[in-house]
Structure 1
Amino acid sequence: MTLLQGLDYASVFIFGLTGALAASRAQLDIVGFVFLACLTAVGGGTLRDVILNRDAVFWVADPGMILSGCIAAVLVFFTAHLLESRLRALEWLDALALGVAVPAGVGVALGMTQTWPIVVIMGIATGTFGGLMRDVVCNEVPLILKKGELYATAAFAGALAAVLVTLLGGSTLVALLACGVTTFALRAGSLLFGWCLPVYKSRPPRS
């Protein structure tokens, strides 16, 4: 198994857990769990691969990815009731998945020798679109759009860190490690310490 395959498998499984947790909060049946887990698990990577016109979308080339999402769904279906706060668990698993999926997207784009803006965009897309689809289907405010929270910003910073390491002559492994650590650290800081961006506040027009 290559490094990129490992990152994809990890992000698929962890994002699958978050999708299944969202299904548990919506009180869906086992089919709903599997659907939502797999949608969340492969959504971002599918968008990445379609945009980059890869020879085969990653889960089509390796159907084990879908099996991984299904396993995550079944696991949560039988254990979600043990969690004290499923929302909190979802947020932290989502942060962990973000820290894995962004490097996965960056690594694929780097492997295809894309320019640095495309590398950054693919990292963000891979990390955020699965969760976005999950939240939209569940009729929740997407985490990526919650007021000021470092989510897309964390993904952007992580992808940019990878690009900078590469431009400075660092290896791909070091670049992806910097990407994952930066992404997760910023997202975790947002959850733990309330790190956020300033939000727009309306003001009355000047007379």
Structure 2
Amino acid sequence: MADQIIHALYLAAIVAEAMTAALAAGRREMDWIGVILLGCVTALGGGSARDVLLDHHPLSWVEHPSYLLLTGAAALATIPIARFMHSLRRLFLFLDAVGLVVFTVIGCGVAIGMNMPLIIVIASGMITGCVGGVLRDILCADVPLLFRSELYATVSVATGLLYIAGRHFGFNHGLSAVLAMSIGLALRLLALRFGWSMPKFVYHEDWH
């Protein structure tokens, strides 16, 4: 049951990621192929990077080609409704937060299934949760959200640690995942609501 819920949330999240990426492509005046590619890369890039780095095959979209069709179609469908998307901003911020914690738990689960050490499990979760957005921002020539002060990667790490702690203390996969995702989601939403952030490093060449 838990796996079915996680899978449903995963599908909703990759659709949302593809649609927000399509808007980013529109701001950069990309053609329709660029919109589709950016949508697919953003939605599926984190999992692909994880699988390549961990030598975990087949990649998710190779095993499930429907993911490519779903994300590509979602990105393309954004074009005719883009003018109305601003009214759904809160919804997409929420879905992005859901995607972050769901992707993180899935990434941690893959590494655990490969008997990886703790630090690799955490890294696997963070890569799955964050790298898609990094690739989107790089392709759009923006500073990736991951490298700004906003609580994003921190939420991913916290979610991964909570999931691993649940497994360590004997909770089953489903309960561990639900608890970790719930707390991680709450943390991300609170950070958005109250502007919580990590300390910034500021350096100027004229400092002596």
TM-score, normalised via structure 1 length: 0.87
1:37 paired residue number: 39
Alignment check: 8 A CA contact 1:42 1:130 kept: yes
1:42 partner letter: L
Match status 1:199 vs 2:188: no
Match status 1:183 vs 2:184: yes
Q: 1:160 to 1:123 in 2, by over 3 A?
A: same
2:198 partner letter: L
Match status 1:58 vs 2:60: yes
The offset of 1:201, in angstroms, is 4.5
CA displacement, residues 39-96 of structure 1 (integer Å, 9 cap, x when unaligned): 1111100011112222311111110110111121122112111123687666444323
**Aligned counterparts of 2:23 and 2:145: Cα–Cα separation in 1:** 14
Alignment check: 8 A CA contact 2:10 2:99 kept: no
Alignment check: 8 A CA contact 1:80 1:86 kept: no
Structure 1 runs of 4+ off > 3 angstroms? 1-11, 85-93, 201-205
SS at match of 2:58: coil
1:22 paired residue number: 24
Q: 1:116 to 1:30 in 2, by over 3 A?
A: same
CA displacement, residues 121-167 of structure 1 (integer Å, 9 cap, x when unaligned): 11000000000000011111211112x21011010000011011111
**Aligned counterparts of 2:202 and 2:83: Cα–Cα separation in 1:** 39
**Aligned counterparts of 1:164 and 1:131: Cα–Cα separation in 2:** 26
Q: 1:8 to 1:95 in 2, by over 3 A?
A: closer
Unaligned runs of 5+ in 2: none
TM-score, normalised via structure 2 length: 0.86
Alignment check: 8 A CA contact 1:162 1:175 kept: yes
2:134 paired residue number: 132
- Bigger shift: residues 111-120 or 32-41: 111-120
**Aligned counterparts of 1:80 and 1:43: Cα–Cα separation in 2:** 23
Q: 1:6 to 1:114 in 2, by over 3 A?
A: farther
1:110 paired residue number: 112
Unaligned runs of 5+ in 1: none
1:24 partner letter: G
2:174 partner letter: L
Aligned length: 204
Identity of aligned residues (%): 35
2:192 partner letter: L
**Aligned counterparts of 1:180 and 1:110: Cα–Cα separation in 2:** 17
